[in-house]
């Protein structure tokens, strides 16, 4: 790519805008923004061309370089067709990785990326490192690329969407849980796992990988590790990495274990968050952060918005916003985070997830008083619960199953059922795209409803 190259930027969200501004700063002026939204025309700087509307992905073969935004699937037939005629197809992330002068800590996985990335960032910052946070929860990486020096650190949250174009892997690769999310974007589960594999593919013997040995995917990825392998586990002790044992959080290096803090001292709610905490501890110890600094951050950090976020307490009921939960697994984890009488609000857009295990797991919770279902998945979720009951194991469960037309009605119905107090948690186990622009808008609506009760 040179300054005369004819460049297309697909998508004009945060990454697309950051890519455009970076290229303009560096003398690339033959740019075209391709986006479905025709209203962005007025946002363009002088000299930047546009190709807008429903056919914005047509005619890509006329460009020499294409920057693909993460929301545009590389499997799109028009992208695939352009691959044979265009010199380079890359992403903001892959370009950043190629140009970055300092070590990158890449964090990927189906869920927990944002929380884990932020924890790593906060711990490294506490240890006096000059560290930058990028990804969905931070700043687009190209916004600060020009500021970076060799001894800086970058924590980069990386979705499967962003991994396809990589030609360079992070110095430290953190691979969290991997489940069948985003199957509307990927061809199948195998292809989704292969996309995640890219975070390890270009590492060498001087790199580090952090894997959770409690998951089946560990056997798939462990043989691919070329450098230092550090493990985390909430079930058993590990020789190198981090683990929990008898209510404590420990780091381990060459079988030398060190106590960090007690599990009941950490600020994050829910035992599932240990799967985010332990990788952060393993990374922090690799960078020689003190146990005291690690423990202080773990105790102070309360989590990110829309992830089991406490909203308010009213009439003895605590309301929690877990709008970021778009998979059955995360919704199960939310329900399992509470011992008080609990009412769950779930449902949303249908991405083809299997709700059988979700139904079985939530019905085993004796404190779960009921579920209010909303959105496009409501019927399938209700059917999954009924099927679990028919199988006999949960036939006598007291859990009430209700359906609501909207989120406001769901909150009111759940509150009415919890007359003696408890917990109402919105943890949808579904995407938000049937009723809301994204999980943030859904979470903000929940907050608004709760605060006006």
Residue entry with tokens 């938000």:
432
Low-confidence ranges of the chain (pLDDT < 50): 180-187
Q: How far is CA 12 from the centre of its chain?
A: 21
User: What domain count does the chain have?
Assistant: 3
Q: Is 447 contained in some domain?
A: yes
Q: Within this chain, do residues 281 and 212 fall inside the same structural domain, yes or no?
A: yes
How far apart (Å, rounded) are the C-alpha atoms in residues 343 and 417? 8
Q: Token digits for 414?
A: 């759940």
Asked if residues 219 and 212 have their Cβ atoms less than 8 Å apart, the reply is no
What range does the domain containing 229 cover?
94-300
CA neighbor of 57 nearest in space, from 30, 89, 29, 17: 89
Q: Within this chain, do residues 252 and 333 fall inside the same structural domain, yes or no?
A: no
DSSP string, 261-281: EEGGG-SS-SGGGHHHHHHHH
pLDDT at residue 187 in the model: 45
Q: Is 439 contained in some domain?
A: yes
Q: Within this chain, do residues 219 and 109 fall inside the same structural domain, yes or no?
A: yes
Residue 239 belongs to domain with CATH number: 3.40.1190.10
Q: Within this chain, do residues 144 and 237 fall inside the same structural domain, yes or no?
A: yes
pLDDT at residue 452 in the model: 96
pLDDT at residue 185 in the model: 42
Residue where a domain stops, chosen among 300, 318, 345: 300
Output the CA torsion 114→118→124→127 (10° steps).
-160
pLDDT at residue 186 in the model: 42
């Amino acid at each position: 790519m040179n300054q005369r190259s004819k460049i297309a930027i697909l998508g004009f969200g945060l990454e697309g805008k950051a890519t455009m501004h970076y290229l303009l700063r560096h003398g690339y002026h033959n740019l075209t923004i391709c986006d479905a939204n025709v209203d962005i025309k007025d946002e363009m700087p002088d000299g930047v061309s546009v190709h807008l509307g429903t056919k914005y992905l047509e005619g890509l073969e006329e460009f020499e370089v294409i920057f693909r935004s993460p929301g545009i699937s590389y499997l799109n037939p028009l992208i695939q067709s352009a691959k044979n005629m265009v010199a380079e197809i890359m992403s903001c992330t892959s370009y950043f990785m190629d140009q970055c002068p300092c070590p990158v800590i890449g964090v990927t996985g189906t869920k927990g990326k944002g929380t884990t990335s932020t924890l790593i960032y906060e711990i490294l910052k506490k240890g006096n490192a000059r560290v930058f946070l990028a990804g969905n929860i931070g700043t687009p990486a190209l916004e600060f690329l020009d500021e970076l020096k060799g001894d800086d650190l970058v924590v980069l949250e990386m979705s499967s969407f962003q991994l396809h174009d990589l030609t360079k892997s992070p110095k430290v690769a953190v691979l969290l849980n991997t489940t069948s999310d985003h199957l509307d974007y990927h061809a199948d589960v195998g292809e989704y796992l292969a996309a995640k594999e890219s975070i390890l593919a270009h590492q060498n013997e001087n790199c580090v990988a952090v894997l959770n040995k409690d998951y089946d995917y560990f056997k798939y990825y462990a043989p691919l590790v070329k450098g230092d392998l550090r493990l985390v586990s909430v079930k058993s002790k590990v020789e190198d990495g981090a683990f929990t044992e008898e209510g404590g959080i420990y780091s381990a290096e060459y079988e030398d274990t060190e106590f960090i803090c007690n599990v009941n001292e950490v600020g994050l709610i829910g035992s599932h968050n240990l799967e985010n905490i332990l990788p952060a501890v393993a990374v922090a110890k690799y960078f020689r952060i003190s146990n005291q600094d690690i423990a202080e951050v773990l105790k102070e950090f309360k989590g990110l918005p829309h992830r089991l976020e406490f909203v308010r307490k009213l009439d003895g009921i605590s309301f929690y916003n877990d709008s970021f939960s778009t998979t059955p697994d995360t919704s199960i984890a939310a329900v399992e985070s509470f011992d008080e009488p609990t009412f769950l609000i779930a449902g949303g857009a249908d991405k083809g997830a299997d709700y059988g295990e979700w139904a079985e797991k939530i019905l085993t919770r004796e404190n779960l008083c009921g579920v209010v279902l909303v959105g496009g998945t409501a019927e399938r979720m209700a059917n999954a619960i009924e099927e679990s009951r028919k199988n006999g194991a949960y036939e006598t469960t007291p859990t009430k199953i209700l359906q609501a037309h909207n989120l406001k009605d769901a909150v009111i119905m759940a509150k009415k059922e919890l007359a003696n107090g408890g917990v109402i948690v919105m943890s949808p186990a579904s995407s938000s795209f049937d009723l809301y622009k994204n999980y943030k808008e859904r979470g903000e609506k929940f907050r608004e409803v709760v605060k006006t009760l």
